[in-house]
């Protein structure tokens, strides 16, 4: 029996003007074409907050202020188990560049259900739809 490793990953719910920032995975990425709250794998010795700042700098060339912890979603994919820790965030500076995604959008809570998200992100989509996360 093969035991899958749990991979700690972060996600940022970046909000502005009543909308949340979402990014679409490139066709060449794992889970191509699905939307996600941006973030990435936590490196050894890195805090989730430091991971988010680094990943958002690498993926979009933006600086963010990390806010409160939102929650954790654990999802078992065929390639492994993801432990996705989400935090609220605000853009601090920079112009969004697509270094790792094919598309981005600022989405209102009422419209977030129109996007097809990666499974681990769906609990946070549901929280937004229910009004448990204020945009």
Mean pLDDT of 60-81: 96
- The answer as to whether 134 is a domain residue is no
Tell me, yes or no, whether 40 lies in a domain. yes
Q: β-strand 39-41 against 101-108: which pairing, if any?
A: unpaired
pLDDT of 98 strictly over 70 = yes
Contacts (Cβ under 8 Å, ≥6 apart) of 132: none
Q: Is residue 135 part of a domain?
A: no
CATH number of the CATH domain containing 29: 3.90.79.10
Tokens of 65: 């202020």
The tally of domains found in the chain comes to 1
37 and 12 in contact (C-beta within 8 Å)?
yes
User: What is the per-residue pLDDT for 20?
Assistant: 98
pLDDT interval class at 1 (50, 70, 90): low
Where do we find the tokens 């549901």?
A: 126
Domain with 47 in it? 6-129
Torsions phi, psi for 112 (to 5 deg):
-65, -25
User: Is it the case that residue 81 has pLDDT exceeding 70?
Assistant: yes
pLDDT of residue 4: 79
């Amino acid at each position: 029996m093969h035991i899958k490793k749990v991979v700690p990953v972060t996600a940022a719910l970046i909000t502005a003007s009543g909308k949340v920032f979402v990014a679409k995975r490139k066709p060449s990425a794992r889970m191509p074409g699905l939307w996600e709250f941006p973030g990435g794998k936590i490196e050894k010795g890195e805090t989730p907050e430091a991971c988010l700042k680094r990943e958002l700098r690498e993926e979009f060339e933006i600086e963010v202020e990390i806010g409160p912890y939102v929650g954790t979603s654990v999802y078992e994919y065929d390639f492994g188990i993801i432990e996705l820790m989400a935090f609220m965030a605000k853009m601090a500076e920079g112009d969004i560049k697509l270094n790792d995604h094919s598309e981005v959008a600022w989405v209102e809570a009422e419209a977030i259900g129109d996007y097809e998200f990666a499974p681990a992100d769906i609990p946070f989509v549901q929280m937004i739809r229910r009004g448990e996360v204020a945009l």
